[in-house]
Structure 1
Amino acid sequence: MKLIDIIAGARPNFMKIAPIIDAFKRHNFEAKGIKYRLIHTGQHYDKNMSETFFDQLGIPHPDINLQVGSGTQAEQTAKIMVAYEKILLENPSDLCIVVGDVTSTMACSIAARKLNIRVAHIEGGIRSYDETMPEEINRKVTDAITNYFFTTSEVANQNLKREGIKPEQVFFVGNTMIDTLLKNMDRLKKPQIWEDNGLKENEYIVMTLHRPANVDSPENLKKLVKILSETVSPNKIIFPIHPRTKKIYESLDLQPENIVLSEPMGYLEFNFLVKNAKLVITDSGGITEETTVMKVPCLTLRDSTERPETCTIGTNMLIGTDPYKLIEPLQNIFAGKWKKGEIPVLWDGKTSDRIAEVLERIM
C-alpha cells in the first residue's frame, strides 16, 4: 500500500485540500493500493481559522495534528519541521502533497525531501517577485526542491520554465480552490451580520486586510479607513477583522459608523457576503481568485500579486498601498464602469480530478 501525506497548515490550505480528498474517493484510491494521511500542522489554531473549515467543507478530521501554534517565522518553521520529521521517521510516506505558500508548505517540503520523500506542490510556480513577502520565500524554497508541480495558470508554467524546471515535472491542472467554490456555491449561508445590518445585494462592500503595510501603522490605517468610508458612504463596509488588526483599529480616533467589524467567518458565510457584495477590497491573494469566478469587482491593496491572471483576465485591479489610489476605482465601480472579467482556463471545478489522474500515474 502506497501512502500519501496531505499537509494543511492555515486557512487557505483547507479550501485547496477538500476537493483533493473528494477526488481520492471518486477515483477509488484505496482500492488501487493508495492511502492518504491528512496532517494538520496547527499553524492556524483559532476555531474560525481551522476547525470550522473541516466541518463546513466535509474534510475528515486530521489523522495527525502537529499543534505547532504561533511563533516567529523561524520558530514556526522549526517546530513544523521537527514535528513532521518525527512522523516520517516513524512511518514514512511515499509522497508529500503541499498546497499554497504558507510556512507549513515550505517546512514540510524540506523535512520530506531531506528524507528522500517526493514532494508535489499544488499551486506551484506562482510568483509575486516581491521577496519582502514571507510567502514569496516559501514559494521559491518549496519549488526549488519540489518533484511535481500542479499549476493554476500559464503564467505559473512560464515562471517554472524560466527557473529551469523540466516540462515533464509540470502539470497544468487548474485551481483546486475554485473546485471548492463551485461545489459549495449552492450551499452558501447568509450570516447573522446580514440581518443585523439590513444588508442588501449589491449595496455593501466586503473588506479584508492583514498585511503589515496596510494594518501595522495606525496612521496609515486611519487614513485608509477615512478615505474608504467617506468615498463609499452611506454604503456599509463589512470588515471581518483579525484580532491583531482589531487592537490597532480600535485605538484610532476615527471609527466610522458605516464600517461594521465582525469576527473571522466560516467559509460558507464569508463567500455568501462576497458573492452578493458591490465590491471587495482586500490584500489577500486567494480572495481575488474567488471574486474573479463570482464576477465581483475587486481592489487589491498591494504593490504586487502572485495571481496576475485575476487582473489581466478577471475582475481584480492592483491598487498599491497608497489609500488615495482607491478613490478613482471606487468611483468607477459605483458608476458601473468596471470590467466584467472572464474566468481563467481550467478554473472549471475539475482540477482535483486532473490531479488524481496524475497521481495514479506517478505513484
Structure 2
Amino acid sequence: MQEIPWHYYPNVTENPITRAFIESQVKRQKRPKTIDAYARNLEDLIRAFALFGDVSLVEAGPDLLERYIDNLYHRAPARIRNKVTSKPCEKLSPNTIQQRIVTARLFYDFCIYHGYRQNKVNPLSRGSGRYGKASLKRGVVSRKQQLPWIPSDQEWEYLMKYLVTHESTRNQLMILLAYDGALRREELVSLRVDDFDWSAKFVTVRPETSKSGYQRIVTYCQVTAEVLKHYLWSERANILAAFGGDKNGPLFLSESNRNAGHPVTLGTFNDVIERLRSAIGLPYLTPHTFRHLRCTVLKRCGIDLEDIALYAGHQSIATTQLYIHLAPSELNKHIREATALFDAHMEQLIRSVAAL
C-alpha cells in the first residue's frame, strides 16, 4: 500500500473512520493525487464541523451539510486569506466546491456501507437522469462550466518579455515546458532529465505523474531546447556541484538556502506564478494557464480535437471541447463556411421581400 503523508491531515488521521476511508481508497489503487485531494477535503470538512458545535460528523443530516455548503460558497481561498494577492477571485472556485462535496458524499457512502452510520440515507443527494428527460434530478449543487482565462496575444508577448528579462533560467524553462507540452503542475515539477529525447525534442510524461494515469509524449520548440541546455549546463550544474545529486535525476532543483539541491515542489511553481501575476498585472494567471493556452493555440492551428486530447492527456474528448470556445474565430469560420448556402438563400429571401 502506498505511503500516506498523514501529517498533512491531522484531523483525518486522528479520526479512525476518516482514516479508514482514506486507507480504503488507497487499497482501491486510487492515484496519490486523488488520495491527497480526498484527505484534504475531509480535513476541511472536519474543521468546518468543529465550528458547528457538538455535532456528529458521521450522523450529520442534510441541515448540517447545507451549512457546510453555504460555508464553502462564502469562504475565501486559503491563498487569499493568508496572503495579499492581486487575483480578484475572492471565493472558492465552483470546481473546488464540487470536489469537496463529492468527497463528502463518497465518505458518507463509505460510512453507510461499512455500518459506521446508523442513518442509511446519504445526507448529500445525487443528481440523476439526463437533460431533456423527465427523470432528471438535480444534485445538491448544480455544475457550472466556466471557461478558463487565457492571455491575449499581446499579453502573452508581454509575459514572455518579462520572463526572459526578470526570471532565472530555471523559471523560464518551467514556463516554456509547461506551455510547449501543455503540462499540468505535477507533470512539470516531476520531470527528470532522463525523460528527454534530445535529438527528437520529445519529453515522456510518465504515467505515475499524470492525472489520467496514461503515459504520453510531448514536444518542445527550439528556443525551449536552448533554454534547457543553458539551464542544465549552468544553474543546475552549479547546484549539483555544490550539493550533489543525480545528473539524470529530477530536472528542476531548488535554489533556496533552506533546501538547495532538492527537487522543487508544486508550491515552488505556484510561487513563481504568484510573483509573475503580481509583477505584470495579469490577475487571472494561474499555473494551468499555460496548458489552456497551448491547447487553444493547437485548436487555432487546426489540430483535430482527438489529437489535442491525446497530446494533453485528457481521458475524455469532452474535456478538450472547451478549447473550441476558447478559439471562437476558428469555430465561427467553420460555421460560416458550412452554412454558406443556407445563409445565402436566407439573404436572398430577405432582400427580395425588402424590395417589395
Q: TM-score normalised to the size of structure 2?
A: 0.32
Larger radius of gyration, structure 1 or 2?
2
Structure that is richer in helix per residue: 2
Higher relative contact order (CA 8 A, sep 6+): 1
Structure that is richer in strand per residue: 1
